[in-house]
Amino acid sequence: MRHKYSGAIALSYVTMFFEGALNVVLVAFMMTLATSFGKDSGEIALLVSLKSVGTMFTLYAAGHLSDKFGRKGIMLIGLMFFVVFLLGFAFVDSYPLLLIVSVLGGIGHGLMDSPGITILFDAVEGNTGPSMSLVQVFFAGGGVLATLMGSLFISQGYPYQYFFILFLALALVVLVMILTVNFPPVRNAEPEFKTTKTNSYNPTLAMAVLLLCILFSATFQSSMSTWTPTFAMTVKNFSEAQSVSLLSVYQIGSVSGAFALAYLLKKYKTTLFMIMNPFVASLFVVVMLLANSPYLTIIALLGVGFFQGVYFSLCINMGGLLYPRNAGAATGAIGTINMLGFSVMITLSGWFVANIGVYELMVVVAVVGVLLSITAYCFKRIYVHLRERSV
């Protein structure tokens, strides 16, 4: 039987695919852009960072406004900003102007992301965990396509501008969907937990620890997604095209992990994977560091993506459970902290790589994964107490 809001659910996933591709495209073409504009990798990383800043400053507002006024209008405005981003990188040859265009692209991402994800809370009754894990399937799937296309463009010598022109066509598809699908009403569910005067474990404390989890996750993810190609080239002696294609390996791992979680979350609690996944991902980072063959490096990177690539969706799902009446705002808050971590870490990691080294950065990433597991365990304890005391 067809779901009443199948069109809106499809829009959510197509939006995630679109965002996922544009989220990694600047990294995929980082070395190409550096050559084209005569800039070093740190200056090109600034484009990535500014895009993250634009997203960071709009995610929460977009979520809050979409809770109040609906998802459709906010997503439509966001898409217009994304179109400017695509047109800018397709036709503008001025680095200073592209700095501005990057910010506008980030604003578009923020305006589309929170309402785009929160559609699922509106449309899906009951356990939203499996649906949320599929968000990562499409987001990572877009990243896979972008990195594979980037690798192809680099190896064949195609102008990077063609990529952005091609994605204008996908933007048109998203536009048609926004204008035509049946959006579900904004959900106004009863919260799972009720705060009382005697309840010291309240949703605010749980949310604060959850935001710390997403900050650690963003540190892990941004370092992996930004510096894996550099690590592959300078430490593992991959070619430029091969190193860019490794991003698709990471994203394929994320897609595979998301599919697995979509099934497992029907049987097991989200908090279990919040604790387990980053620890196992850290072990794979260690394997990647110690690997003495390209095949082992690829397998390790696949494992990192499998276990860690879906973490954002896990946190989004928990935020929606904590604040179902304000799922858009909760999603926006989590997304804001995620992008804060991304934007800060892209800048800090650029300095770290330039002054200390990319190998040492990956060592730090492994440590961050362990810290994330510990923090997630603390969140689980608060969450369990919250459930017990609200019964």
Helices (H), the chain: 6-28, 30-37, 41-69, 71-91, 95-123, 129-156, 161-180, 203-234, 240-264, 270-290, 294-308, 311-322, 327-355, 358-389
Can you state the angle between helices 240-264 and 129-156, rounded to 10 degrees? 170
Predicted confidence at residue 1, as pLDDT, reads 41
50 or 368, higher pLDDT: 368
Q: What mean pLDDT comes out for the span 294-323?
A: 87
- Mean pLDDT score, 33-61: 82
Structural domain includes residue 63 = yes
pLDDT for the residue 201: 45
Answer yes or no: is 1 within a domain.
Answer: no
As a whole-number percent, the residues of the chain with pLDDT over 70 amount to: 93
Has residue 202 got a pLDDT over 90? Answer: no
The CA distance from 346 to 208, in Å, is 23
Whether pLDDT at 117 is above 80: yes
Burial class (CB in 10 A: 0-12, 13-18, 19+), 259: middle
What is the band of 25 on the pLDDT scale with cuts at 50, 70, 90? confident
Whether 84 has a pLDDT exceeding 80, the answer reads yes
Rounded distance, CA 304 to CA 308, Å?
6
Across the range 125-145, mean pLDDT stands at 77
CATH code, domain carrying 29? 1.20.1250.20
With a cut of 60, say whether residue 192 has pLDDT above it: no
By the 10 Å C-beta count (0-12 exposed, 13-18 middle, 19+ buried), 391 is classed as: exposed
Average pLDDT across the chain, whole number: 84
Say whether pLDDT at 236 is over 90: no
Q: Which letter does DSSP use for residue 93 in this model?
A: -
- Region 146-155: mean pLDDT is 84
pLDDT tens string 323-367:
877 767 777 788 888 878 877 887 788 888 888 999 999 999 999
What is the pLDDT averaged over residues 216-234?
Answer: 87
Is 13 a member of any domain?
yes
pLDDT in tens, 259-302: 888 788 888 888 899 999 999 999 999 999 998 888 898 999 99
Q: What is the mean pLDDT of residues 65-70?
A: 84
Burial class (CB in 10 A: 0-12, 13-18, 19+), 32: middle
Instruction: Return the amino acid letter for 292.
Output: N
CB-count exposure of residue 148 (10 Å: 0-12, 13-18, 19+): middle
What's the CA gap between 174 and 14, in Å, rounded? 7
pLDDT of residue 2: 54
- 3-state SS, residue 194: coil
C-alpha–C-alpha distance, residues 71 and 11, integer Å: 11
The answer to whether residue 69 sits within a structural domain is: yes
Contact 177, 7 (CB under 8 A): yes
Residue 196 clears pLDDT 70, i.e. is over it: no
C-alpha span between 65 and 289 (Å, rounded): 44
In a domain, 278, yes or no: yes
- Residue 18 is predicted with a pLDDT of 92
d(C-alpha 190, C-alpha 193), whole Å? 9
Mean pLDDT of 96-100: 93
CB 142 within 8 Å of CB 21: yes
The Cα 271–Cα 273 span in angstroms is 5
Domain tally, the chain: 1
Residues 6+ apart with CB under 8 A from 214: 311, 312, 315, 334, 337, 338, 341
Highest mean pLDDT (candidates 36-50, 196-210, 264-278, 320-334): 264-278
Instruction: Check pLDDT > 70 for residue 69.
Output: yes
CA 290 to chain CA mean position, Å:
27
Please compute the mean of the pLDDT values over residues 27-50 and round it to a whole number: 81
**Structural domain includes residue 235:** yes
Of all residues in the chain, the percent with pLDDT exceeding 90 is: 32
Residue 63 CB contacts under 8 Å (≥ 6 apart), including other chains: 114, 115, 118, 327, 328, 329, 330, 331, 332, 333, 335
Which domain covers residue 317, as residue numbers?
6-389
Region 143-168: mean pLDDT is 86
Considering the domain boundaries, does residue 190 fall inside one?
yes
